[in-house]
Amino acid sequence: MSVRTLLLPSSKGSKKWKVGCFIEKNILVRIRKDIEKCIGKTVILKANKGRKKTVVREGILEAAYPNLFIVKINNDYDSPRKVSYTYSDVLTGTVEVTVCSQSEPEEKIS
Protein backbone atom coordinates (compact mmCIF):
# COMPACT_ATOMS: atom_id res chain seq x y z
CA MET A 1 0.00 0.00 0.00
CA SER A 2 1.37 3.36 -0.96
CA VAL A 3 0.63 6.14 1.51
CA ARG A 4 1.95 9.66 1.28
CA THR A 5 2.53 11.70 4.41
CA LEU A 6 2.31 15.45 3.97
CA LEU A 7 2.78 18.33 6.36
CA LEU A 8 -0.22 20.63 6.24
CA PRO A 9 -0.66 24.00 7.93
CA SER A 10 -3.11 23.63 10.82
CA SER A 11 -4.66 27.08 10.37
CA LYS A 12 -4.01 30.36 8.59
CA GLY A 13 -1.11 32.28 10.02
CA SER A 14 -0.19 29.49 12.42
CA LYS A 15 3.33 28.12 12.52
CA LYS A 16 2.14 24.72 13.71
CA TRP A 17 1.90 21.91 11.23
CA LYS A 18 -0.22 18.82 11.33
CA VAL A 19 0.62 15.54 9.67
CA GLY A 20 -1.87 14.21 7.12
CA CYS A 21 -1.82 10.82 5.43
CA PHE A 22 -3.37 10.48 2.01
CA ILE A 23 -3.95 7.21 0.23
CA GLU A 24 -3.06 7.56 -3.40
CA LYS A 25 -6.13 7.52 -5.58
CA ASN A 26 -4.27 5.41 -8.12
CA ILE A 27 -4.44 2.37 -5.84
CA LEU A 28 -8.24 2.44 -5.67
CA VAL A 29 -8.41 2.94 -9.43
CA ARG A 30 -6.13 -0.07 -9.96
CA ILE A 31 -8.26 -2.24 -7.65
CA ARG A 32 -11.43 -1.13 -9.44
CA LYS A 33 -9.96 -1.94 -12.87
CA ASP A 34 -8.78 -5.36 -11.67
CA ILE A 35 -12.26 -6.14 -10.37
CA GLU A 36 -13.95 -4.81 -13.53
CA LYS A 37 -11.85 -7.25 -15.60
CA CYS A 38 -13.29 -10.15 -13.59
CA ILE A 39 -17.01 -9.43 -14.05
CA GLY A 40 -18.85 -12.69 -14.70
CA LYS A 41 -16.13 -14.86 -13.15
CA THR A 42 -16.36 -16.96 -10.01
CA VAL A 43 -14.70 -15.38 -6.97
CA ILE A 44 -14.03 -16.41 -3.40
CA LEU A 45 -14.70 -13.69 -0.82
CA LYS A 46 -13.07 -13.76 2.58
CA ALA A 47 -14.72 -11.04 4.67
CA ASN A 48 -13.65 -9.97 8.14
CA LYS A 49 -16.86 -9.21 10.06
CA GLY A 50 -15.06 -8.10 13.24
CA ARG A 51 -14.67 -9.73 16.66
CA LYS A 52 -12.76 -12.64 15.16
CA LYS A 53 -15.57 -13.49 12.74
CA THR A 54 -14.46 -14.34 9.24
CA VAL A 55 -16.86 -15.42 6.50
CA VAL A 56 -15.72 -17.24 3.35
CA ARG A 57 -18.17 -17.35 0.44
CA GLU A 58 -18.07 -18.23 -3.22
CA GLY A 59 -20.05 -16.32 -5.80
CA ILE A 60 -20.10 -14.65 -9.19
CA LEU A 61 -18.87 -11.10 -9.61
CA GLU A 62 -21.97 -9.50 -11.06
CA ALA A 63 -21.32 -5.76 -11.40
CA ALA A 64 -18.77 -3.08 -10.65
CA TYR A 65 -19.75 0.52 -10.01
CA PRO A 66 -17.56 3.58 -9.32
CA ASN A 67 -17.61 3.06 -5.54
CA LEU A 68 -18.60 -0.58 -4.98
CA PHE A 69 -18.91 -4.01 -6.54
CA ILE A 70 -21.63 -6.65 -6.24
CA VAL A 71 -21.23 -10.42 -5.89
CA LYS A 72 -24.11 -12.87 -6.33
CA ILE A 73 -23.85 -15.71 -3.82
CA ASN A 74 -25.62 -19.05 -4.23
CA ASN A 75 -25.98 -20.87 -0.92
CA ASP A 76 -27.33 -24.38 -0.54
CA TYR A 77 -29.60 -23.21 2.27
CA ASP A 78 -30.77 -19.76 1.17
CA SER A 79 -32.06 -18.38 -2.06
CA PRO A 80 -29.48 -16.54 -4.17
CA ARG A 81 -28.53 -13.21 -2.66
CA LYS A 82 -26.29 -10.30 -3.48
CA VAL A 83 -23.64 -8.69 -1.31
CA SER A 84 -21.79 -5.48 -2.01
CA TYR A 85 -18.40 -4.24 -0.88
CA THR A 86 -16.41 -1.09 -1.54
CA TYR A 87 -12.98 -0.93 -3.11
CA SER A 88 -11.65 0.56 0.12
CA ASP A 89 -12.71 -2.68 1.87
CA VAL A 90 -10.32 -4.51 -0.45
CA LEU A 91 -7.61 -1.89 0.11
CA THR A 92 -7.81 -2.11 3.91
CA GLY A 93 -7.94 -5.91 3.92
CA THR A 94 -11.46 -6.16 5.33
CA VAL A 95 -12.36 -8.18 2.23
CA GLU A 96 -10.07 -10.45 0.22
CA VAL A 97 -11.15 -11.28 -3.32
CA THR A 98 -9.70 -14.34 -5.06
CA VAL A 99 -10.63 -14.96 -8.69
CA CYS A 100 -11.17 -18.61 -9.63
CA SER A 101 -10.84 -19.66 -13.23
CA GLN A 102 -10.45 -23.12 -14.66
CA SER A 103 -7.74 -22.29 -17.19
CA GLU A 104 -5.55 -20.07 -14.99
CA PRO A 105 -4.32 -20.36 -11.41
CA GLU A 106 -6.21 -18.42 -8.73
CA GLU A 107 -5.49 -14.70 -8.71
CA LYS A 108 -5.79 -12.64 -5.54
CA ILE A 109 -6.89 -9.01 -5.87
CA SER A 110 -5.54 -6.65 -3.24
CA distances from 45 to 4, 26, 70, 110 (A): 29, 23, 11, 12
47 phi and psi, to 5 degrees? -110, 130
Share of the chain above pLDDT 90, in %: 45
CA distances from 65 to 36, 38, 77, 97 (A): 9, 13, 28, 16
* pLDDT tens digits along 14-61: 555 455 455 567 888 899 999 999 999 999 999 998 888 999 999 999
Q: How confident is the model at residue 2 (pLDDT cuts 50, 70, 90)?
A: very low
CB 47 within 8 A of CB 32: no
CB 46 within 8 A of CB 100: no
Q: In order of start, what are the domains of the chain with their CATH numbers?
A: 25-109 (2.30.30.100)
Between 86 and 12, whose confidence is greater? 86
pLDDT of residue 11: 52
